[in-house]
Structure 1
Amino acid sequence: MSETGSHENVSDENLPSEQAQAHGAVEKADDPFADPGLPPHEHRIQDIDERAAKRSERTVALMFTVSMLATVAFIASYVAFPIDKIVYVWPLGRVSILNLALGLTLGIALFFIGAGAVHWARTLMSDEEMVDERHAVAADPETEAKVKADFVQGAKESGFGRRKLIRNTMFGAVALVPLSGVVLLRDLGPLPEDKLTHTLWRKGKLLVNENTNEPLRPEDVSVGSLTFARPEGLEHDDEEFNNEIAKAALMIVRLEPGDIKDKKELDWSHEGIVAYSKICTHVGCPVSLYEQQTHHVLCPCHQSTFDLSDGARVIFGPAGHPLPQLKISVNKDGYLEAQGDFEEPVGPAYWERKR
């Protein structure tokens, strides 16, 4: 009797079926696993206390403001700290103070944008769960109108229009963060100005053999041979050697004057000795393979092929223009010398060059 009586005293509203009907659940007859529905909505303190809502608003605004300050600190760090300054930071050890500052400030800037957005959503935007039945992908006019109305309602409940402090600080944080990427573009290096259009070659500069380190005479270059040269005064132990040789590297070939088809090439040569840039005009690899019978030189990287008997024009491969020629002659002491710089920039094309 006591067991039966206890069951009778249980309120009907505590039964799963009654809960399901109370909270919008769909109940099927004789279904022991009926959907219990959503629990009753519990209001947050921000929903019923405007002072609490204002505190949350100020907290979100503070996070967005911290993000803005961190972005400013990122830019200031980039300008203030030298790239080669190393400091000891436990437990990281020895690190670049510039990299450390950039990583911390950018991380803080991105973190507080996310944290502000999350705090805004959890404390101020509507958190009431809504049940909507599945519908076809193609919406009918009534559904479209409902979606638009829901969007307007959601925007209104988010307080985006009403809470101007959050809105303005969020705009500021999101607008400043991309400046970090813009500033990092400076790491591409200083502006080249006219450095790409000039090399160390000048009028009177002797052609120095890369293998012997001695100035070249015409008799040192035999027909069919390939010789590499550099400008006089550029030594291997120079601090800027790699930067300069990347532009000034020269290859010298001796052809029979009658085999030279291009008049300018013939005028710029000496007794069939022609001098061309060694830097491929595709991506800057060193051209180093010479075919004596055809007078062709081949770039080993991507097989661009140039005809040295016809102005070093491209006859195969991805290179976009001929190898630049260096005008040479012989000085009074019998050494090969340059008559000036290359007439056009060496190496791959870029948008500022004329060809």
Structure 2
Amino acid sequence: MSNVPDPAVTDDLYPNPGLPEHHWRPTDVDPKAERRAERQVATLFGLSAICTVLFVVSYFTFDVGEDWDTIGGFGASNLTLGLALAGALLFIGIGIIQLARKLMADQEIVEYRHPAGSSEADREMALTALNTGIEESGIGRRPLVRNSLLSAVGLVGVTALIPLWDLGPKPNQVGPDKKYDYPGAGIENTIWVEGMRVVRDVTGTPIRPGDLEIGDLINGEPEGIFNGGEDGEPLEGVVLQINKSKGAVVVVRMEPDEIIHGEGRENWAVDGIVCYSKICTHVGCPISLYERTTHHLLCPCHQSTFDLADSAKVVFGPAARALPQLPLGVDEEGYLIATAPFDEPVGPSYWERG
């Protein structure tokens, strides 16, 4: 006896209920209701755009730091940025839901899954179904909804870009009447100035040429890190860390006749002592792995290698340019000093570098 049920008997016992009767929505049969729904959806997208604008305005309006603006005891900047961004995303979400509920087609579509790649006929059918879905969504024939949606989604992207403003001081924002005004401000500047001593990076001890033997490498910093620079004001907090990171140098002594001076740099060394930025020109890692016989300095991050005997030129690795060199001299007390600041920005390349 077969265990396969008889289809006729099965149909009698469990009749196919079929699909329920389709109920038309008001927007499907009433043009006024359809236009009203369009305006509702467009309004939601418009509210999202307004929230994005409020996000940008709040970002530049409310101060943060020691004298924070507050609203109801909360930081005004954080509060308004959070509410504005939440509103921008919320109104887009509600608008899309209303678009799907009231304006997009609500007919059921069945798609059969295949275990392998579809045939050309199936692919053409899928493209046809996709185009049909786009057509039934009404986006093409509803410019008000389409344009408001695109505007809202496009503006929300601004909320991700605006915070990039705080990544660091910019070269055109340095000076007494600019936004940033502290020693070494700006990505093109350091605290190094003419006459500033080169000191050891931890103790701040000044360095005499006689302190270095042939082959020695010392990690150094500008003396202004410890005494505040030209104005004598001590550096603290973020300003201190910025200047320590940008002003770090390596001081190396080698035989004077082993040095290949760059053009115009014949007087930048003192008795075979040269000084270069400690910041790798690839992605900004600090470097000090020195091989004294070859005068090569190796970056531990990505193995960029610089020849300190030849203007710190790149001899291996992904770095695209030599380490900036600091011109050296000796002051009246016999200590190493910078005879000028760096003549190029330190650190990795960026879009405004010439």
The TM-score normalised by the length of structure 2 is: 0.73
For the structure 1 residues 102 and 120, does the alpha-carbon distance in structure 2 shift closer, same or farther, using more than 3 Å as the test?
same
| The structure with more radius of gyration | 1
1:238 to 226, 232, 235: 235
Deviation at 1:261, TM superposition (A): 3.7
Mapping 1:27-106, distance limit 5 Å: 29=8, 31-32=10-11, 33=14, 35-84=16-65, 85=68, 96-106=75-85
CA distance in 2 between counterparts of 1:304 and 1:162 reads 57
- AA aligned to 2:307 is D
1:120 to 99, 102, 126: 99
Residue in 2 aligned with 1:338? 338
Q: Is 1:221 paired with 2:203? A: no
> Deviation string for 1:224-283 (max 9, x for gaps)?
222233333331751222212222222222212233244656542111122222222222
Q: Is the 8 A contact 1:313 1:321 kept in 2?
A: yes
CA distance in 1 between counterparts of 2:142 and 2:304 reads 63
> Deviation string for 1:84-103 (max 9, x for gaps)?
448698xxxx8644233223
Residue in 2 aligned with 1:252? 251
Deviation at 1:131, TM superposition (A): 7.1
> Deviation string for 1:150-171 (max 9, x for gaps)?
957973x655566665455444
For the structure 1 residues 45 and 134, does the alpha-carbon distance in structure 2 shift closer, same or farther, using more than 3 Å as the test?
same
For the structure 1 residues 138 and 315, does the alpha-carbon distance in structure 2 shift closer, same or farther, using more than 3 Å as the test?
closer
Q: Is the 8 A contact 2:204 2:223 kept in 1?
A: no
Q: Is the 8 A contact 2:63 2:69 kept in 1?
A: no
For the structure 1 residues 201 and 182, does the alpha-carbon distance in structure 2 shift closer, same or farther, using more than 3 Å as the test?
closer
- AA aligned to 2:240 is F
Residue in 1 aligned with 2:300? 300
Q: Give the match's secondary structure for 2:159.
A: helix
For the structure 1 residues 87 and 38, does the alpha-carbon distance in structure 2 shift closer, same or farther, using more than 3 Å as the test?
same
For the structure 1 residues 218 and 36, does the alpha-carbon distance in structure 2 shift closer, same or farther, using more than 3 Å as the test?
same
Q: Is 1:139 paired with 2:118? A: no
CA distance in 2 between counterparts of 1:288 and 1:348 reads 16
Q: Is the 8 A contact 1:257 1:266 kept in 2?
A: no
Mapping 1:112-191, distance limit 5 Å: 112-129=91-108, 137-139=119-121, 147=128, 155=135, 160=139, 166-191=145-170
- AA aligned to 1:350 is Y
CA distance in 1 between counterparts of 2:110 and 2:295 reads 80
Residue in 1 aligned with 2:177? none
CA distance in 1 between counterparts of 2:241 and 2:40 reads 55
Q: Is the 8 A contact 1:63 1:112 kept in 2?
A: yes
Residue in 1 aligned with 2:317? 317
- AA aligned to 1:258 is D
Q: Is the 8 A contact 2:305 2:314 kept in 1?
A: yes
For the structure 1 residues 86 and 322, does the alpha-carbon distance in structure 2 shift closer, same or farther, using more than 3 Å as the test?
same
> Deviation string for 1:139-158 (max 9, x for gaps)?
39xx87x948x957973x65
> Deviation string for 1:81-132 (max 9, x for gaps)?
234448698xxxx864423322322222222222222223323343344679
Count of equivalent residues? 320
Deviation at 1:337, TM superposition (A): 2.2
Please list every run of 5 or more consecutive structure 1 residues that lacks an aligned counterpart in the other structure: 1-27
Deviation at 1:305, TM superposition (A): 2.8
Please list every run of 5 or more consecutive structure 2 residues that lacks an aligned counterpart in the other structure: 1-6, 175-185, 228-233
Deviation at 1:196, TM superposition (A): 3.2
CA distance in 2 between counterparts of 1:278 and 1:151 reads 58
1:197 to 185, 188, 200: 188
For the structure 1 residues 220 and 165, does the alpha-carbon distance in structure 2 shift closer, same or farther, using more than 3 Å as the test?
closer
Q: Is the 8 A contact 1:281 1:322 kept in 2?
A: yes
Greater Cα shift, 124-133 or 105-114: 124-133
For the structure 1 residues 211 and 108, does the alpha-carbon distance in structure 2 shift closer, same or farther, using more than 3 Å as the test?
closer
The TM-score normalised by the length of structure 1 is: 0.73
Deviation at 1:208, TM superposition (A): 2.7
CA distance in 1 between counterparts of 2:256 and 2:111 reads 88
Identity rate of aligned residues, in percent?
A: 46
CA distance in 2 between counterparts of 1:121 and 1:97 reads 36
Q: Is the 8 A contact 2:62 2:69 kept in 1?
A: no
CA distance in 2 between counterparts of 1:38 and 1:46 reads 22
